[in-house]
Structure 1
Amino acid sequence: MRDADNAELHGVAVKTIRRWRRLYQRRGASRGQTHLAPPCPRCDEGPLDGPAYAELLGWYLGDGYISLGRRSVFNLHIYNDVRYTDLNARLLVLMRTVKPSSRPHTRRVPGAIVTTVSWKHWPCLFPQHGPGRKHEREIVLDEWQRALVTAFPADFLRGLFHSDGARVKNWATRVVRGEKRRYEYPRWQFTNRSEDIRRLCGWALDLVEVAWRQSGPWTLSVSRREAVLRLDGLIGPKS
C-alpha cells in the first residue's frame, strides 16, 4: 500500500507513516511483530515523562552507572540502601515510566539493592555516561536536560537527595540565663565527590529558592529551618 493511502486510511500524516516504517526497518522487525522496544525520545521522537526523567537523572548522577551488555544493549544500574524499601520500589516505577513496557529487575548486594533496566538508548538519555568515575570527568547537562530540570527542579532534587543525601539531626549549644543548653535541629546534606554534580544540586536548590551552603569539601547543606521545611515538602521523606 502506498504511504499516502495508508495515511488516509488511519487518519495520520504521511510523514508519520514513513517514520513508523523506518522504525520497523531500523529494528529489523517483521510486519507481524508487535512487541517492540519503545522509541527513543532523542533518536525517534518518542515520548518522555519529564518529572520521572528529571528524578531518574538525579538518581543516576548520585548512585547510578551505565554498563554495556550483550548485543550493544546498555544497562542502567541504580544502587540504593536496602533499608529504604519505599525508595527501591519507587525506582522500579521511575524506570518503567521513563522506558515504557520495560521490566526492571533487582538484585541484592551487601547492604544495597541494585535496580537495573536494559535499553540500547540509555546513552541517548544520559549523555553524561562515559569511561571512569563521574567525579573524575566533566559532568555537564545538555540544553534539553537543563530545560527539563528547570521545568521540574523538585523532581531532580528528589533523585539527588534520595540517592546521595541524608536528613540528619544537628546540634548546638547556647547559654541561656547563665545555663548552657543543647538544641537539636534537622538539616539536609548532599554529599558527592564531583564538583560538577554538587554545582548542579546548588543550581536546582536556587531554582526552588531553598537556601544552602557548602559545609564541607564534598557536602552541601540545607540548615535554615524554613529551608529545611520547604525541601521536606518538595522531595518528601527518605524511607
Structure 2
Amino acid sequence: MYDASTRKRALALVAQGRSLNSVSRETGISRSAIRAWQERLEPLPRMATPAPGPPADEPAYAYLLGLYLGDGCISAHPRGTGYYLRIACANAWPGLLKQCREAITAVRPGIGVYALQKEGYTMVTSYYRHWPLLFPQHGPGKKHERPIALAPWQQTIVGTYPWEFIRGLIHSDGCRITNWTTRVVGGERKRYEYPRYFFTNVSSDIVQLFTTTLDQVGVDWKLANARNISIARKASVALMDTHVGPKY
C-alpha cells in the first residue's frame, strides 16, 4: 500500500506529461498501480495552478511564439486538467533543442519541460494549465486551415522584439543555405557561392506575419512562391546573420 503523499507525487509527475514508464522508474511504483490511481472515480486533489499573467520574459516569448507558429501545437490533457505545449525540434540541431527548452522555462518559470525522442526529431513538451491563454492561436484543426492573427498584446511584444520572433520562425520553418552559380571571367568559368535564407509555411497568415516583421526591421525579401520566402540581398542576409544566424 502507498500513502496519500506518494500517490499525489506520482500523479503530479504524470500530470506534467511524463509517461507511465518514466514515472514508474523514478518512483519504483508499478505502472498498473499508477494507471489505477488515474482511473479512480474520485481522483486525488490536484495542485492549483494560478492563472497566468504576462509572459515572464517577453524576448523569450517572442522567440517561442515563432517556434510555436512554425512547428508547435497545443493539445488537451485526456482528463481535461490542462494542456501540453509541444514543439518539434529536428535532431540535427541540438542548439535549437536547447534554446527551445530555455525559452519555455523563461516564459513560465517553474513548470516542467521534458524532451520526448521521436524518429528523426525530439518533441519538447511542457504541461501547463493555461497554455491556450498564452497562445490564443490554438484551435481545432491545422493552423493553415484556420485564420491566424496575433492578439494585440502579442503584437506589442513582437513589435518590441521583432528579431526574436523572426529567429523563432526561421528556427522552426526556415533555413540558411549557400547557393552557387558560375560565371565566365576572362575566358575562365568560375564558381561563386552566396548565402540566402528561406522560410516555408503553408499558412498564408503566418507567412504574412513573417514578411510584415521583416519589413519592420528593414530586410528585403522575395516571394519565391505562395509558401516560400527568399532573402538573398547581401545587406539583408548580413542583417539576418547578425540577428538570427543559421541553426546549429
TM-score normalised by the chain length of structure 1: 0.80
Cα deviation, residue 177, structure 1: 2.8
Q: Tell me if 1:60 matches 2:68.
A: yes
2: CA distance, partners of 1:145 / 1:131: 20
**Partner of 1:226: helix, strand, or coil?**
helix
Is there any run of 5+ residues in structure 2 with no aligned partner, and where?
Answer: 1-44
Q: Which runs of 5+ in 1 are unaligned?
A: 1-29
The within-5 A match list for 1:155-194 is 155-194=164-203
Q: Which residue of 2 aligns with 1:118?
A: 127
Residues 1-239 of structure 1 correspond to what in structure 2 (within 5 A)? 37=49, 39-41=51-53, 46=54, 48-69=56-77, 70-239=79-248
- Output one character per residue of 1:155-185: Cα deviation in whole Å (capped at 9) or x when no partner: 0011000011111111223232343333111
Matching residue's letter, 1:134: K
| Matched position secondary structure for 1:128 | coil
1:38–1:224 distance in 2 versus 1, CA, 3 Å: farther
Q: What is the CA–CA distance in structure 2 between the aligned matches of 1:49 and 1:234, rounded to whole Å?
A: 18
Shift of 1:51: 0.3
- The CA RMSD measured in Å over matched residues stands at 1.8
How far apart, in 2, do the equivalents of 1:186 and 1:103 lie? 38
Separation in structure 2 between the aligned mates of residue 204 and residue 185 of structure 1, nearest angstrom: 24
Does structure 2 conserve the Cα–Cα contact (< 8 Å) formed by 1:38 and 1:101? no
SS in 2 for 1:71: coil
CA distance in 1, matches of 2:51, 2:146: 29
| Secondary structure at 2:159 match in 1 | helix
Residue 47 to residue 216, structure 1, CA distance change in 2 (3 Å): closer
Letter in structure 1 aligned against 2:231 = V
Q: Which amino acid aligns with 1:64?
A: G
* Stretches of 4+ aligned residues off by more than 3 angstroms: 35-39
SS of the residue corresponding to residue 247 of structure 2 reads coil
* 8 Å Cα contact 1:193-1:218 kept in structure 2: yes
Task: State percent identity of aligned pairs.
Answer: 44
Supply the distance in 1 between the matched residues of 2:147 and 2:201 (Cα, whole angstroms).
14
Would you say the 8 A contact 1:214–1:220 is kept in 2? Answer: yes
Deviation, structure 1 residue 36 = 5.9
**CA deviation string 1:28-85 (max 9, x = no partner):** xx9xxxx8645402xxxx5531101100000000000000003330100000101111
Q: Residue 18 of structure 2 aligns with which residue? A: none
Structure 1 counterpart of 2:238, one-letter code:
L
Distance in 1 (alpha carbons) for counterparts of 2:57 and 2:239: 24
2: CA distance, partners of 1:72 / 1:96: 20
Aligned 8 A contact 1:106 1:114 in 2: yes
TM-score by length of 2: 0.77
